[in-house]
């Protein structure tokens, strides 16, 4: 497989990785939504709703804090969607593949041209060797039998041999031009692909960091959902609750008294 | 309804509230377990497992961090079970209801006794009034017609009236003794019930604070699950990844070269 194909496959694999990361984030979003839904549902539970006084208030706040937690996780999942999943999914759309194909065809054409030029060189090299051999044979014939006809043949063979030499030089020249163009294009294109890969890595890095930032935020926001509960639990006062309860239920207002005559 | 019944019902309601809070915590535990299960499962996903180099390492760590998060939530749910749900469920077991019934019967007996003594007083009061009226009638008869028989009757009526007066005093005394005992028992028992209620409130307060402490811990532990991911994302280096990749795939080792004669 040509080295350039390997480079292109790396690009396609990179695109696939980015798509799979986006799928992974999508799964995480679903988990967060499910968790938020369950927390929110539980926060509406009527359990222990009849608890009274300051303890009742703390309990209401504790239940409410589950709703707040649910909101935090919902916000996390929404931001994961808009700031991580979606950008990852849409980065380098389908026309990226077309761009890669264009590179591929361009370099393949050059490679084909280069092969054809190489064959040309081989052919010219062989033609030159044939002409040189022919010239040699004719020169030996001259030593044996001198005639006008033979001298004419040698002149002709020498001219053809020189021409074959020129052909070879021209073929070599064409080959080397093509090789040089191929090399230049390979370097340019490889550098472009390298830049694309650096962009991809930095782009993923940036969005995965956005993921960790959102996770940090979630933990911090979660901390704050529990603060009100802490405060109200701190304020729980059984003596105050008793007073409230006695006033409400009016216990002790009617009771047997001492009797006298 | 006697005031004491209201006090006992408050105790029973308190026990019910504590049971319902324990149920609420149980539901929370189930939500945490489900969340942990889902996170843990996703952490094992093969998505984007072919990502290479420093980015590949960061990605592996990001997936691993979901497993760590799952562990944090599992630990939270385990501690919720042992440190909040279970104590809430077992605090004041069934013999607490028997204790309350004992109080109830004791005070009910005193109340019955008090009613009976009160009836005794009313009866003695009426008997005294009757005797006094009888004495009055007989005294008037004496003014009309003097005789030994009448004088004897008056003496007898006066004696009976005095005795009825003594009976009333004795009934009043018995009533007041019972009322005093009832009052003493009511005060003692109410104070015991008050103490039970203070204990309950403080006990719930303590365990709900344990809940908020565990929630805080969870948020903090969660923060730390993401630290390694942050570090490895920081260390992502496209240039290094390219070097590694080129060495591994040996691209560029074989390539067309310049040709010469």
| Integer Cα distance of A148 and A161 in angstroms | 20
Query: What is the C-alpha radius of gyration for chain A, rounded to an integer number of angstroms?
Result: 44
Coil, helix or strand for B18? helix
Q: Is B129 on the interface with A (CB under 8 A)?
A: no
Compute the Cα dihedral for A205, A211, A214, A220 and give only its sign. Answer: negative
Residues 6+ apart with CB under 8 A from B181: B110
All residues at 6 or more sequence positions from A113 whose CB lies less than 8 Å from its CB, including other chains: A178, A182
| CA B127 – CA B122 distance, rounded (Å) | 9
Q: How many CB atoms lie within 10 A of CB A41?
A: 14
Answer whether A58 sits within 8 Å of B236, measured CB to CB. Answer: no
Question: Rounded CA gap, B204 and B87, in Å?
Answer: 10
Q: What is the per-residue pLDDT for A257?
A: 66
Where chain A has pLDDT below 50, the residues are none
pLDDT for the residue numbered B253 = 61
Does the ipTM surpass 0.90? no
In this predicted structure, the answer to whether residue B252 has a pLDDT above a threshold of 70 is no
Helix intervals (H) in chain B: 3-43, 53-80, 86-90, 95-144, 148-225, 227-234, 238-249
Give the residue from B63, B61, B178, B55 showing the smallest Cα distance to B114.
Answer: B178
**Is the confidence at residue B114, as pLDDT, over 70?**
yes
C-alpha B197/C-alpha A243 separation (Å) is 12
Please write the tens of the pLDDT for every residue from B50-109: 999 999 999 999 999 999 999 999 999 999 999 999 999 888 877 888 888 898 899 899
Distance CA B28, CA A129 (A): 91
**Cβ contacts of residue A117 below 8 Å, gap of 6+?**
A171, A174, A175, A178, A179
Min Cα distance A227 → chain B (Å) is 9
- The C-alpha of B149 sits at a distance from chain A's nearest C-alpha, in angstroms, of 34
Average pLDDT over residues B2-16: 86
pLDDT score at A92 = 83
**Cβ–Cβ contacts within 10 Å for residue A72, how many?**
22
Which residue from A21, A201, A226 is facing B216, i.e. has the nearest CB?
A226
Averaged pLDDT of chain B: 90
DSSP structure string for B36-62? HHHHHHHHT--TTTT--HHHHHHHHHH
- Does the beta-carbon distance from B21 to A59 stay under 8 Å? yes
Per-residue pLDDT of B13-45, as tens digits, reads 999 999 999 999 999 999 999 999 999 999 999
Q: What is the CA radius of gyration of chain B?
A: 44
pLDDT band at B258 (very low <50, low <70, confident <90, very high): low
Q: Do B31 and A13 touch (CB under 8 A)?
A: no
Cα separation of A238 and A252, whole Å? 19
Please tell me the predicted confidence (pLDDT) of residue B244. 87
What are the CA-CA distances from residue A62 to residues A170, B32, B73 (Å)? 89, 16, 18
Identify which of B1, B114, B108 has the alpha carbon closest to the alpha carbon of residue A258.
B114
Contact flag A208-B259 (C-beta cutoff 8 Å): no
Query: Do residues A72 and A221 lie in contact, with contact meaning Cβ atoms separated by under 8 Å?
Result: yes
Q: What is the pTM (predicted TM-score) of this model?
A: 0.84
Q: Both tokens of residue A227?
A: 């603060």
pLDDT band at B146 (very low <50, low <70, confident <90, very high): low
Does residue B84 belong to the interface with chain A, where contact is any CB pair within 8 Å? no
Alpha-carbon distance of A28 to B227, in angstroms, equals 18
The backbone torsions φ and ψ at residue A2, rounded to the nearest 5 degrees and listed phi first, read: -60, 145
Does the beta carbon of A201 lie under 8 angstroms from any beta carbon of chain B? Answer: yes
CA distance B256 to B102: 104
Coil vs helix vs strand at A4: helix
């Amino acid at each position: 497989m040509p080295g350039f194909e390997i480079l292109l496959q790396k690009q396609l694999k990179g695109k696939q990785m980015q798509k799979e990361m986006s799928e992974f984030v999508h799964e995480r979003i679903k988990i967060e939504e499910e968790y938020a839904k369950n927390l929110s549902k539980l926060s509406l539970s009527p359990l222990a709703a009849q608890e009274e006084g300051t303890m009742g208030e703390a309990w209401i706040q504790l239940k409410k804090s589950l709703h707040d937690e649910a909101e935090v996780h919902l916000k996390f999942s929404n931001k994961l969607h808009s700031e991580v999943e979606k950008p990852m999914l849409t980065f380098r759309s389908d026309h990226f593949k077309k761009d890669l194909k264009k590179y591929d065809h361009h370099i393949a054409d050059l490679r084909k041209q280069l092969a054809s030029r190489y064959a040309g060189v081989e052919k010219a090299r062989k033609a030159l060797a044939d002409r040189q051999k022919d010239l040699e044979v004719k020169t030996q014939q001259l030593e044996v039998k001198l005639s006008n006809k033979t001298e004419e043949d040698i002149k002709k063979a020498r001219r053809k041999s020189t021409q074959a030499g020129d052909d070879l030089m021209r073929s070599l020249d064409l080959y080397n031009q093509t090789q040089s163009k191929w090399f230049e294009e390979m370097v340019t294109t490889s550098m472009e692909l390298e830049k694309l890969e650096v962009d991809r890595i930095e782009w993923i890095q940036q969005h995965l960091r956005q993921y960790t930032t959102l996770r940090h935020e979630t933990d911090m926001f979660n901390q704050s959902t529990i603060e009100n509960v802490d405060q109200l639990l701190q304020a729980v006062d059984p003596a105050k609750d008793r007073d409230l309860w006695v006033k409400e239920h009016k216990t002790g207002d009617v009771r047997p008294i001492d009797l006298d005559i």
